[in-house]
């Protein structure tokens, strides 16, 4: 019962987060953020979080290696699509730097999650 509730929460969190990234990616005027960090750092953090959410969704069903790869690929493709949609917004510009930052953030998250979720060796006789 609890696992089902957690899974539903992760699904909803993924959908809400993806919708938020899409909204922020295509609105003409992005709301100002009080934190003073470079745009590319914000992109990396945002897509690292997106990768982590997708990894959490995929991990129980396809294992950590496949989940890491698929979450990375999914985040990169999604980020690319959001950037492509900006082409349709006159007030927005498509930036390769943003796509690279999204990819780096997603890749770093996938690598960290892959190793953090590795099975821990149990103490044996030795």
Instruction: Please report the DSSP string for 74-104 in residue order.
Output: HHHHHHHHHHHHHTT-TT----HHHHHHHHH
Express each pLDDT in 25-84 by its tens digit: 888 776 666 778 888 899 999 999 999 999 999 999 999 999 999 999 999 999 999 999
The answer as to whether 13 is a domain residue is: yes
Q: Which residues contact 87 (CB under 8 A, 6 or more apart)?
A: 94
The answer as to whether 69 is a domain residue is: yes
Q: What pLDDT sits at residue 1?
A: 59
Express each pLDDT in 4-31 by its tens digit: 888 899 999 999 999 999 998 888 776 6
Q: Which domain holds residue 19?
A: 2-29+37-116
The answer as to whether 102 is a domain residue is: yes
The answer as to whether 123 is a domain residue is: no
The answer as to whether 125 is a domain residue is: no
Distance CA 86, CA 78 (A): 13
- How is residue 51 annotated by DSSP? H
Answer for the pair 47, 19: CB distance below 8 angstroms, yes or no.
Answer: no
Four-point Cα dihedral 77, 79, 84, 85, nearest 10: 120
Number of residues that this document lists for the chain: 126
Answer for the pair 83, 95: CB distance below 8 angstroms, yes or no.
Answer: yes
> What's the structural domain count of the chain?
1
Whose CA is closest to 75, among 21, 9, 6?
21
């Amino acid at each position: 019962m609890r696992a089902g509730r957690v899974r539903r929460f992760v699904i909803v969190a993924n959908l809400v987060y993806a919708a938020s990234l899409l909204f922020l990616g295509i609105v003409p005027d992005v709301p100002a953020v009080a934190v003073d960090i470079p745009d590319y750092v914000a992109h990396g953090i945002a897509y690292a979080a997106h990768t982590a959410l997708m990894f959490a969704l995929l991990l129980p069903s396809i294992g950590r290696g496949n989940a890491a790869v698929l979450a990375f690929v999914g985040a990169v493709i999604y980020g690319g699509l959001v950037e492509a949609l900006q082409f349709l917004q006159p007030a927005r510009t498509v930036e390769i730097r943003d796509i690279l930052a999204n990819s780096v953030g997603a890749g770093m998250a996938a690598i960290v999650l892959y190793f953090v979720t590795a099975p821990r060796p149990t103490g044996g006789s030795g």
